[in-house]
């Protein structure tokens, strides 16, 4: 019996919540589906190699890109999209995918380019598109409008949270179904660079404005003289120089590149710090809760959905003074273990990885 062949399109084999979602779906182990993951621009970090190894060990076929992952005013992204139809034609002739599942804007743009140039592919290859973010097509509104007409016309859209669904309907008028991102429980191991006799706080994410980097820097700088805390900052991105320049020399901070398999070390830390301005639905936040790691968050769309309504470690409006109050007054006397158990119970009941996998696989088969 022929297996259904599903191609996931991702930006790159590298750090990213959408990439992790694609990997978690592709690793479902469903013998009736053959999964492939295709990157649009070539990831080139140590994380990239480990990510690809993880997928291959799970039986997922990985397709590398040749276009370097360099971001400059959307120029290389648009060149990638213009060239991708020819690359996809070769993949289509070689593998004959039944479903293409696209994640985030560059893969979305490449998908629209390929199916617009070769519309006959639509007869045998269907499209599913996950909307991972509340804010789409920043700086590319005209291209975005073209792409959204394509996905809405094919009823391809799936939102990852209520906040994403509401944002999308408000802007584009289409009401999408929701499949929540799922996370499985991961065997934990000890992170060997913890600082003894300190409260070890972890920040992990892209060094981009959306992640609240400026607020994170200000809070950590202000707490530089507070001997109770040590901050472990993992990540990379366009604001890396600012992060390293302002935090790199402080005694209460360790700044490091992205940590592969971060989710397996989360229980080593005492708290996570996530001052994001917005999220689609944060996988890292869910993984932290699954590991009983209490999360200090900005109460923004896509983050507040990952924790109970009455969560005490959330701040409105990314207010620096409120974060400092938590660190100076609340956290030293709170019952950390109770908070961790409260968070874990919430995500166990709301964000099952099996439920996510089954939801998407049901959607693939319904498309055929």
Ordered DSSP codes for 248-294: TT-TTEEEES--TTGGGTGGGSSEEEE--S--SS-HHHHHHHHTT--
Query: Could you give the domains of the chain?
Result: 4-182+352-365 (3.40.50.2000), 199-350 (3.40.50.2000)
Residue 145: strand, helix, or coil: helix
* Span 163-203, pLDDT tens digits: 999 999 999 999 999 999 998 888 999 999 999 999 999 99
Q: Which residues pair with 297 in a beta bridge?
A: 274, 314
**Residue 84 burial (10 A CB sphere; 0-12, 13-18, 19+):** buried
Q: How far apart are CA 348 and CA 355, in angstroms?
A: 11
Q: Output the pLDDT for position 17.
A: 86
Average pLDDT of the chain? 95
Do the beta carbons of residue 13 and residue 45 sit within 8 Å? no
* Per-residue b or e along 275-284, where b marks 16 or more CB atoms closer than 10 Å to that residue's CB: bbbbbbbbbb
338 compared with 281, residue with greater pLDDT:
338
* Span 285-310, pLDDT tens digits: 999 999 999 999 999 988 999 999 99
Greatest Cα pair distance in the chain: 65
Q: How far apart are CA 70 and CA 11, in angstroms?
A: 11
From the list 284, 282, 280, the residue with the least C-alpha distance to 204 is 284
* Span 16-59, pLDDT tens digits: 889 999 999 999 999 999 999 999 999 988 889 999 999 999 99
Torsion angle, CA of 257/260/264/267, rounded to 10 degrees? Answer: 10
- DSSP per residue, 341-352: HHHHHHHHHH-B
Residue whose structure tokens are 């802007």: 171
Do the beta carbons of residue 38 and residue 91 sit within 8 Å? yes
pTM of the prediction? 0.80
255-258: long-range pairs with CB below 8 Å, 24+: 256/232, 257/45, 257/46, 257/47, 258/15, 258/45, 258/47, 258/204, 258/234
* Span 89-127, pLDDT tens digits: 999 999 999 999 999 999 999 999 999 999 999 999 999
Q: How far apart are CA 271 and CA 288, in angstroms?
A: 9
- Vertex 120: Cα angle to 117 and 121 (nearest 5): 85
Look at phi and psi of residue 338 and say left if phi exceeds 0, alpha if psi is from -120 to 50, else beta: alpha
Residue whose structure tokens are 């997922």: 60
Q: Between β-strands 33-39 and 4-10, what pairing exists: parallel, antiparallel or unpaired?
A: parallel
Q: How many helices (H) and strands (E) in the chain? A: 12, 12
Query: What distance, in Å, lies between the first and last C-alpha atoms of the chain?
Result: 15
């Amino acid at each position: 019996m022929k297996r259904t062949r599903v191609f996931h399109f991702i930006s790159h084999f590298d750090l990213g919540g959408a990439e992790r979602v694609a990997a978690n779906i592709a690793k479902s182990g469903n013998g009736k589906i053959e999964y492939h993951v295709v990157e649009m621009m070539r990831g080139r970090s140590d994380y990239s190699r480990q990510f690809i190894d993880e997928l291959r060990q799970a039986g997922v076929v990985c397709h590398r890109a040749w276009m370097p992952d360099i971001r400059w005013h959307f120029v290389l992204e648009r060149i990638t999209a213009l060239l991708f139809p020819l690359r996809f034609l070769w993949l289509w002739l070689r593998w004959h995918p039944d479903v293409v599942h696209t994640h985030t804007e560059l893969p979305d743009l490449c998908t629209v380019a390929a199916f617009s140039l070769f519309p006959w592919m639509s007869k045998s290859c269907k499209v599913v598109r996950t909307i991972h973010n509340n804010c789409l097509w920043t700086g590319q509104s005209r291209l975005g409008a073209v792409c959204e007409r394509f996905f809405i016309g094919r009823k391809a859209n799936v939102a990852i949270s209520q906040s994403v669904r509401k944002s999308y309907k408000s802007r584009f008028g289409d009401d999408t179904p929701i499949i929540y991102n799922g996370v499985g429980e991961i065997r934990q191991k000890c992170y060997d660079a913890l600082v003894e006799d300190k409260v070890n706080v972890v920040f992990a994410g892209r060094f981009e404005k959306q992640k609240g980097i400026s607020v994170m820097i200000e809070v950590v700088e202000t707490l530089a003289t507070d001997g109770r805390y040590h901050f472990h900052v993992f990540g990379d991105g366009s604001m890396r120089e600012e992060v390293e320049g302002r935090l790199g020399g402080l005694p209460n901070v360790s700044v490091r590149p992205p940590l592969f398999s971060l989710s397996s070390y989360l229980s080593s830390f005492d708290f996570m710090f996530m001052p994001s301005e917005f999220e689609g639905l944060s996988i890292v936040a869910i993984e932290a809760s699954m590991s009983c790691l209490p999360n200090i968050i900005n109460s923004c769309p896509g983050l507040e959905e990952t924790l109970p309504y009455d969560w005490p470690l959330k701040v409105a409006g990314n207010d620096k003074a409120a974060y400092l109050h938590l660190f100076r007054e609340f956290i030293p006397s709170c019952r950390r273990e109770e908070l961790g158990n409260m968070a874990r119970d919430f995500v166990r009941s709301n964000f099952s990885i099996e439920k996510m996998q089954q939801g998407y696989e049901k959607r693939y088969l319904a498309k055929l």
